[in-house]
């Protein structure tokens, strides 16, 4: 049954069916083949969705959309530019820095791409940067949206593997900062090597003026993350706080949008949430059937015989996830694969929280690699460049992320240090 389901799912992927539909149809095929009671389908769909931490997903998506529509992202861009704009390559560095700040609330790389990219990609082009480079830098920097907490994929991993959401969140901080610092270093090196960015400081505001305009926006991630790690509220409750804070800023403080503008914002949030929840629902049935067939045990025995050490296992998993991320959407990959791979990782002595960070960072690369690179397509649409044009400037950036991934994989203390300090 399990072999039939996996082969069927791959065939449906090859036929370009939506990910959720492909997973659902392969589950139906498995139920029909094995003669399982059809009541399993609605039961497991309900069980997959009936989890309190999943409530955070629609609220974090909505908070990101409100930040974009309410002009909060523009204020963050202005502040970041005031800090680094006068450095050669300052506009490129601003792109990465703004994504890091925005990621601390939005929780989504696609939302980060549109919210920050719609402002900074045209600005980079106006300052003389090639449009393909601007698009590739924005797409890669937006990965930080799922690595720096809070993060929708982190919530999905925690729920799928019954791991603490708070522990996964705090474990993502240092890896996210490492990736951000590496991308900033590359942006500076690129500007120095090409001679671009000498006039990036033009139009930047004085730091204190930019801070006065953006301090309430900058307070947002402080409230969210501080509240979570200070024990004031749970990650799910924090998502609601983020929405209320963004609404108050946009409607009453900045007055950048009116009540009529909220309709499209809520519509985008509902659409994005529905897509993710549909994947989770179908993946719940798929995972139940694979567990019923004993796939996790068989996979564990096979991988245990294939790899002799923890380090070889991590190398093999990274290579596999890198390829999988190129073809399968991140949320679906996490919900389907995490429950299968985690028990094997634990057998090799890998901490569940550390493995979650490895998995999320690796699959985040799939967002900037064809053919499923959603960040890539979003950035190309904003910059109005083709996929072929963006590949060459993208390759060094992917190399930077891969180097960081190697450090994250083989230096577990980077992910676990803050977790151990906070939960010891």
Lowest mean pLDDT among 39-48, 79-88, 98-107: 98-107
Helices 310-327 and 387-410, interaxial angle, to 10°?
160
Q: Would residue 15 count as lying in a domain?
A: no
Range of the domain at 190: 43-423
Q: What is the pLDDT of residue 299?
A: 67
Residue-wise pLDDT tens digits, 242-290: 889 989 999 998 888 888 888 998 998 888 788 778 877 887 888 788 7
Q: Would residue 199 count as lying in a domain?
A: yes
Q: What domain count does the chain have?
A: 1
Q: What is the pLDDT of residue 242?
A: 87
Name the one residue in this structure whose structure tokens are 């990965």.
143
Q: Would residue 34 count as lying in a domain?
A: no
Q: Would residue 225 count as lying in a domain?
A: yes
Average pLDDT over residues 29-56: 83
- Exposure string for 69-102, b = 16+ CB within 10 A, e = fewer: bbbbbbbbbbbbbbbbbebbbbbbbbbbbbbbbb
| Confidence tier at 424 by pLDDT (50, 70, 90) | low
Write down the pTM of the prediction. Answer: 0.81
Q: Would residue 419 count as lying in a domain?
A: yes
Helix, strand, coil percentages, rounded to 5, for the chain:
80, 0, 20
Residue-wise pLDDT tens digits, 178-217: 999 999 999 999 999 988 878 877 777 888 998 898 898 8
Average pLDDT over residues 73-92: 85
Q: Give the residue with greater pLDDT, 401 vs 230.
A: 401
Give me 267's structure tokens.
């519509």
Q: Would residue 333 count as lying in a domain?
A: yes
Q: What is the DSSP letter of 204?
A: P
Q: Give the residue with greater pLDDT, 300 vs 380.
A: 380
CA pair distance 286, 220, nearest whole angstrom: 38
Give me 16's structure tokens.
């370009």
Kind and range of the H or E run holding 313: helix 310-327
| Confidence tier at 21 by pLDDT (50, 70, 90) | confident
Q: What is the pLDDT of residue 175?
A: 95
Is the pLDDT at 241 greater than 70? The verdict is yes
């Amino acid at each position: 049954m399990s072999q039939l389901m996996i082969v069927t799912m791959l065939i449906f992927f090859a036929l370009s069916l939506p990910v959720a539909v492909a997973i659902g149809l392969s589950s139906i095929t498995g139920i029909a083949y094995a003669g399982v009671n059809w009541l399993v389908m609605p039961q497991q769909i309900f069980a997959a969705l009936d989890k309190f931490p999943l409530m955070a997903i629609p609220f974090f998506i909505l908070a990101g959309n409100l930040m974009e529509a309410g002009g909060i992202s523009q204020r963050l861009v202005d502040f970041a530019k005031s800090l680094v704009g006068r450095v050669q390559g300052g506009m490129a560095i601003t792109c990465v820095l703004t994504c890091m700040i925005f990621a601390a609330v939005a929780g989504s790389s696609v939302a980060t791409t549109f919210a920050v990219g719609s402002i900074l990609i045209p600005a980079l082009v106006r300052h003389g940067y090639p449009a393909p480079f601007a698009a590739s830098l924005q797409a890669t920097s937006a990965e930080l949206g799922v690595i720096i907490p809070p993060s929708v994929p982190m919530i999905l991993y925690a729920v799928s593997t019954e791991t603490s959401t708070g522990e996964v969140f705090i474990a993502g901080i240092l890896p996210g900062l490492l990736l951000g610092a590496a991308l900033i270093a590359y942006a500076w090196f690129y500007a120095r090597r090409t001679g671009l960015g000498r006039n990036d400081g033009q139009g930047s505001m004085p730091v204190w003026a930019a801070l006065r305009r953006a301090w309430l926006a900058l307070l947002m991630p402080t409230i969210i993350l501080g509240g979570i790690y200070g024990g004031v509220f749970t990650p799910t409750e924090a998502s609601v706080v983020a929405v209320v804070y963004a609404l108050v800023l946009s409607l009453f403080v900045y007055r950048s949008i009116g009540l009529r503008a909220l309709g499209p914002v809520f519509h985008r949030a509902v659409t994005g949430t529905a897509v993710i929840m549909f994947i989770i629902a179908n993946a719940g049935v798929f995972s139940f059937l694979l567990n019923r067939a004993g796939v996790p045990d068989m996979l564990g025995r096979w991988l245990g015989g294939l790899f002799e050490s923890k380090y070889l296992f991590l190398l093999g998993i990274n290579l596999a996830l890198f390829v999988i991320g190129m073809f399968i959407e991140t949320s679906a990959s996490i919900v389907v694969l995490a429950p299968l791979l985690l028990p094997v990782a634990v057998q090799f002595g890998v901490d569940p929280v550390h493995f979650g960070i490895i998995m999320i960072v690796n699959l985040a690369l799939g967002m900037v690699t064809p053919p499923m690179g959603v960040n890539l397509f979003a950035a190309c649409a904003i910059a109005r460049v083709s996929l072929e044009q963006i590949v060459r400037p993208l390759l060094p950036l992917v190399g930077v992320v891969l180097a960081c991934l190697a450090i994250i994989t083989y230096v577990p203390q980077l992910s676990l240090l803050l977790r151990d300090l906070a939960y010891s």
